[in-house]
Chain A
Amino acid sequence: MNTNRQHPTLARVARRSAIVLALALVGCGNYSNEDLDYLSALPQTEDLSVEAPKMSPVRPALEDDALQTTSDVTTKLNAMADNLLALVDQIRSGYPTSRNGNQRIWGPGPADGNPGWQVEFTMTKDGAANPVTFEYSLLMIPPGMGIDGALTVLTGTFQATGGAHGVGQLSLTPAAARDAGAVLPGLEKLMTLTIGYDTQDWPRTLTMEVVSIPTVDPTMDARQAMYTYQRAQNGDGAMSFTFLKDAIPGPMGVDTLSITSHWQGSGAGRADIAVTAGDGAGLISWTDCWAPDETTAYNSRTGAGDATACIPLL
Chain B
Amino acid sequence: MTRAVLAVPRPRAREAGSGADPRPQDRRTKVTFRDMGFSYPGRRALSGVTLDVPERRVTAIIGPSGCGKSTLIKSINRIAEIGTEVKVEGEVRLDDENLYGPGVDLVDLRRRVGMLFQKPNPFPKSIYENVAFGPRIHGSGGGAELESIVERSLRQAALWDEVSDRLQTSALELSGGQQQRLCLARVLAVDPEVILMDEPCSALDPISTARIEELIEGLRERYTVVIVTHNMQQAARVSDRTAFLLNGSLVEVGETEAIFTNPTDRRTEDYITGRFG
Q: Do A and B share a complex?
A: no
Q: Which residue numbers of B lie inside 8 Å of A, CB to CB? A: none
